[in-house]
Each structure stands twice: as C-alpha cells, then as structure tokens.
Structure 1
Amino acid sequence: MVEGWHGWVGTFNGVALVTVVVLPLAALAVCALARHRSVTGTTPAWAWRMSLAEVGIVYGTVPWVWMIMLPGDRAGAVPARVSLVPLRDLLTILVDGGPLTLTGQVVGNLLVFAALGFLAPLRFAALASVPRILALAAGCSVLVEAAQYVLRLDRVSSVDDVLLNTAGAGLAALASRPWWRATARGSSDRPRSATAPGR
C-alpha cells in the first residue's frame, strides 16, 4: 500500500496524474466560490473572475511546488547542497544532460510560479505591478529553496532556480497585464459587502 501511495504522491508522473484527476474538483470549487460571492452581493462577472483567479493560483502552483519538493534517492543521507553562482547549474546541466535536458529544466522552472504571476494581479489590485510580482515570486522561490536545504531532500538549492522561477512569474504577469485595469476598476466598483474579510 505504501508503494502504491508513493506512486501517486511521490513521483513526477504521479503528481501530474493527480493534477489531472482533481481538475473537475477545481472547476467545482470555482463554481461554488462564484455562487457564494454572487449571493453575497458581488456582481456575477467579478465573482467569477475572483474565484477563477484564486483557484487557478492554487491549482497552477501547488503541483509544481510539490514536484520540486519531492525527495531524491539519497534524501537525508547526503549533505544539503547550495549553489550561489548564477548560471553555473544551468551550464552543468547543459554539459551533463545536453540541450534537451537543459530546455526541460528551464521550462519547468519558468512554470513554477507562472500561474501566480499571471493570476495574482488579476485577483489583487495591490499586486498589479511587475516589480511586486517579481518580489513575491522571488520570496516564494527563496522559501522553497531554503526548505529543500533544511529538509535535506537530495536537491541543490540553487540561485538559478530562484532566477528562473522569478522570471517565469514576471513573464506571466506581463502576459496578463492588459487585464490589470479591469482589476483596479472592479475593486472600486464592488459592493462594500464583497470586500469584507473572507469574501
């Protein structure tokens, strides 16, 4: 049974499969949140926008963080490793694994906080700024890398990962920038009851 659960929650393929399986639940969560907000006085369009953004941030971020927090084969048995020289890890991957492996590594790191970067400015007017998204993503990435180090997961806590995670969030934020104005306008137009804590 333990091995069965490990296949679901302890491997990249398992996490990807779980992500697909829970997609209908994420959709139901969006519907439930939007319905609740509509009942409490939020305009339907804004209720759907807020709910989709909130669930999307979680659904689009948790699986990636889950994957990069999976322990390696020698977790706990080898010393924690840190790489603070920019681009050194990427060059090592290129030399050892080739361009295809490097591409996969780069794309994967760019996607870790992409959902956060794209949707956070649409949900929170205070985050509708590329520098703020970059700061948020960098902070989250540093926390993840620090957790990898402290937990000794047989992973390298690398500055390259922080840079790529942050860049991915920034690029995603730029992609959603045309809709930021609507976020600011929606925040000012929402009924007072919709801005109460927990709404």
Structure 2
Amino acid sequence: MIKGWHGWLGTFTGVVLLTVAVLPLAALTVWALARRRRGVTGAAPAWRMSLAEVGIVYGTVPWVWMIMLPGGRAGEVPGRVSLVPVRDLLTILAAGPLTATGQIVGNLLVFAALGFFVPLRFASLASVPRVLALAAGCSVLVEVAQYVLRLDRVSSVDDVLLNAAGAGLAALASRHW
C-alpha cells in the first residue's frame, strides 16, 4: 500500500500507478483539444495533432520523472560521470539478464513516445536523424541535471545513446502515419 505523498511521487511504483490513474484525464484532454480544433483544421488533423501532443507529454514525463528520482545518498555524494561509450552497458550486461533487460528496455523507452509522436505533430521533425538529434539533446539535458543536482545517479553517455536509439526506433515505427 502506498502511503503519503512520497509514496506516490517519490517511488517508481508510485509514479507508475499515478501514470495509470491519469490515463482517463489524458484521454479527456485529447478529446477536448480535438473538439476545440475541429472547426479550424478539420476532424482528422485535429485528432492527430491532439493525440500527438498529449502522447508526447503523457508518454515522456513519467519516464523522465522516474530517472530524476534521487538515489539513497542524494546530496551526500558527488555526481558521477561515465563518458566512455559502452562501458556502462557492459557493466549492466554483467549484472545478469533480468537486470540488464530492465535497464536497457527502460532506457529505450524514456524518449520513445517523443520519437513516435514528434514526427506526427511537427512535419519539420519527420525524419529519423532529426528525432535522434532531438532525443539525444533531451537526454543530455537530463543527464546533466542528474549530475548537477547530485541525485546519486551516474550520468552516462550510454544512457544518452540508448535514449536516442529508443526514440529513433519509435520514429521508425510511426513512419506509416
């Protein structure tokens, strides 16, 4: 049972449950935005734009929230940085298949919604290289924030690479639309 605001806002489980609980509000927001735009842009473009905008926010914010949660010694230890590509990835793989799968899939999903919906909403970003650049830039900002805020997390170039790769794969998945 989750008790108190910290249980809802300061734990992975709380963030996941809150995200699920907010899903009806996200759907209502898509509907309200589409209804408001329908007279200006037509029904199909209004729904598409609204779904893309809400999808970007709803699909990205919880992941970023989770990776910005402080570790057990936040504020006590200096920020750690790993700038050698693939080093942290190899360390994660050595930790075991279950841990590795969770870490890798989690990093791939952080900006996947951004990668999927940004090309649908912004025609100027409707290419995989542009989505990769956007996701990499956003990921660098998150990693720098983790370091500066001393959240007891490792700021790693591997996280940036996996976050951008997830967005790129999601952009490929949305090419049909």
Could you state the TM-score of these two structures normalised by the residue count of structure 1? 0.86
- What amino acid maps onto 1:132 in structure 2? R
Matched with 2:80 is 81
Matched with 1:186 is none
Of 139, 149, 152, 2:150 maps to 152
Structure-to-structure mapping, 1:33-48, within 5 angstroms:
33-39=33-39, 41-48=40-47
Equivalenced residue count is 175
3-12 or 111-120: which moved more?
3-12
- What amino acid maps onto 1:85 in structure 2? V
Matched with 1:122 is 120
Matched, 1:94 2:132: no
Matched with 2:48 is 49
Distance 1:92 1:168 in 2: 20
| 1:58-111, Cα deviation, whole Å (9 max, x unpaired) | 00000000000000000000010000011111221222x211101110000000
Which ranges of structure 1 fall in alignment gaps of 5 or more residues?
Answer: 180-199
| 1:5-58, Cα deviation, whole Å (9 max, x unpaired) | 10000000000000000000000100110011013x210011000000000000
Identity %: 83
Spell out structure 1 runs of 4+ moving beyond 2 A: none
Matched, 1:16 2:16: yes
What secondary structure, in the 3-state scheme, does the structure 2 residue paired with 1:157 have? strand
Could you state the TM-score of these two structures normalised by the residue count of structure 2? 0.97
- Radius of gyration: which is bigger? 1
Matched with 1:63 is 62
What secondary structure, in the 3-state scheme, does the structure 2 residue paired with 1:177 have? coil
Matched, 1:169 2:167: yes
Distance 2:93 2:138 in 1: 26
Matched, 1:112 2:115: no
Distance 1:8 1:88 in 2: 33
- What amino acid maps onto 1:170 in structure 2? G
Distance 2:158 2:97 in 1: 16
What secondary structure, in the 3-state scheme, does the structure 2 residue paired with 1:20 have? helix
* RMSD of aligned alpha carbons: 0.8
Query: CA offset at residue 171 of structure 1?
Result: 0.4
Distance 1:100 1:24 in 2: 32
